[in-house]
């Protein structure tokens, strides 16, 4: 099993869209038994993939190990893709992890999920607190959605340097330009500055995910963003294999 965390210290960078679509690519393109673990209290990924799953305020209890994750896991409309949904109980996760005083709690739960799944994709909440530390310890790969600008690239460089300088072996890091609009000069400049970095184009079709309750490939297979996601997933698999 490999745990892939879609992580950003800030919101508004398309993190959830990327998490849903990468999880779907894992299940459909690689035929992997895949779990999307929604750790963001907003529950956007949960709403996209399982709108009828009723929030029971038990997502927090999974982390406290009061409730087994299998009790909350639900199937999605995508074959081989399950969801461990979020709910409002996940607010203030940093405080929960401080109270638990268990630095590898997320990692241990992920290892247990590995008995059922080949890939676990985590939609992380934004921030750089204790939850981020749990994610870093648990992940095999951190995917960092990066705003397509030189400032966004600088922020991603600083974050990657921070992760490397923690003094411990950490996960592999993959930065991804997300929501790229090549009509914007700042976006073009960022792409020129990092030509080898994956880039996912802005797609109006992606805004319909919440209405379609499905990943982009399910209803817009010819979208350039769908093709870019497929290419990105190939790169993710290669990184995990190496």
Which range among 22-31, 121-130, 160-169, 203-212 shows the weakest confidence by mean pLDDT? Answer: 160-169
The C-alpha atoms of residue 28 and residue 115 are separated, in whole angstroms, by: 20
pLDDT per position as a tens digit, 107-162: 999 999 999 999 999 999 988 889 988 998 999 999 999 888 777 777 777 777 77
- In this prediction, residue 192 has a pLDDT band, given cuts at 50, 70 and 90, of very high
Average pLDDT of 6-25?
Answer: 92
Q: Give pLDDT, residue 159.
A: 75
Other Cβ atoms within 10 Å of 117 Cβ, number: 25
pLDDT per position as a tens digit, 62-91: 999 999 999 999 999 999 999 999 999 999
Average pLDDT of 209-213?
Answer: 93
Q: Give pLDDT, residue 12.
A: 82
DSSP string, 130-179: HHHHHHHHH-SEEEEEE-SSHHHHHHHHHHHHHHHTTSS---EEEEEEEE
Q: Tell which wins on pLDDT, 175 or 161.
A: 175
Average pLDDT of 17-26?
Answer: 97
The per-residue pLDDT of the chain, averaged, comes to 91
- In this prediction, residue 20 has a pLDDT band, given cuts at 50, 70 and 90, of very high
Q: Give pLDDT, residue 222.
A: 95
Residue 219 has pLDDT above 90, yes or no: yes
Q: Give pLDDT, residue 153.
A: 76
The C-alpha atoms of residue 210 and residue 182 are separated, in whole angstroms, by: 25
Residue 29 has pLDDT above 80, yes or no: yes
Residue 167 has pLDDT above 60, yes or no: no
Phi/psi-derived region of residue 82, left when phi > 0, alpha when psi is between -120 and 50, beta in every other case: beta
Residue 235's closest CA among 124, 161, 143? 143
Q: Give pLDDT, residue 16.
A: 95
Domains and CATH numbers, the chain: 2-241 (3.40.50.300)
Residue 229's closest CA among 196, 195, 206? 206
Average pLDDT of 38-64?
Answer: 89
- In this prediction, residue 48 has a pLDDT band, given cuts at 50, 70 and 90, of very high
The C-alpha atoms of residue 159 and residue 228 are separated, in whole angstroms, by: 24
């Amino acid at each position: 099993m490999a745990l892939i965390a879609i992580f950003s210290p800030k919101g508004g960078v398309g993190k959830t869209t990327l998490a849903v679509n990468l999880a779907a690519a894992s299940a459909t393109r690689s035929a992997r038994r895949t779990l999307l673990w929604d750790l963001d209290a907003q529950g956007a990924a949960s709403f996209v993939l399982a709108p009828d799953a009723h929030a029971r305020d038990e997502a927090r209890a999974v982390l406290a190990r009061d409730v087994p994750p299998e009790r909350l896991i639900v199937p999605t409309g995508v074959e081989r893709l399950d969801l461990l949904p979020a709910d409002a109980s996940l607010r203030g996760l940093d405080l929960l992890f401080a109270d638990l005083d268990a630095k590898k709690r997320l990692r241990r739960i992920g290892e247990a999920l590995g008995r059922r799944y080949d890939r676990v994709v985590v939609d992380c909440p934004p921030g750089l607190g204790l939850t981020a530390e749990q994610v870093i310890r648990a992940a095999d790969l951190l995917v960092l959605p990066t705003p397509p600008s030189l400032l966004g690239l600088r922020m991603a460089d600083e974050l990657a340097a921070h992760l490397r300088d923690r003094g411990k072996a950490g996960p592999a890091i993959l930065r991804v330009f997300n929501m790229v609009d090549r009509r914007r000069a700042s976006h073009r400049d960022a792409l020129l500055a990092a030509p080898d970095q994956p880039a996912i184009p802005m797609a109006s079709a992606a805004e319909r995910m919440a209405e379609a309750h499905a990943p982009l490939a399910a209803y817009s297979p010819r979208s350039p963003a769908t093709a870019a996601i497929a290419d990105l997933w190939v790169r993710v698999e290669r990184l995990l294999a190496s």
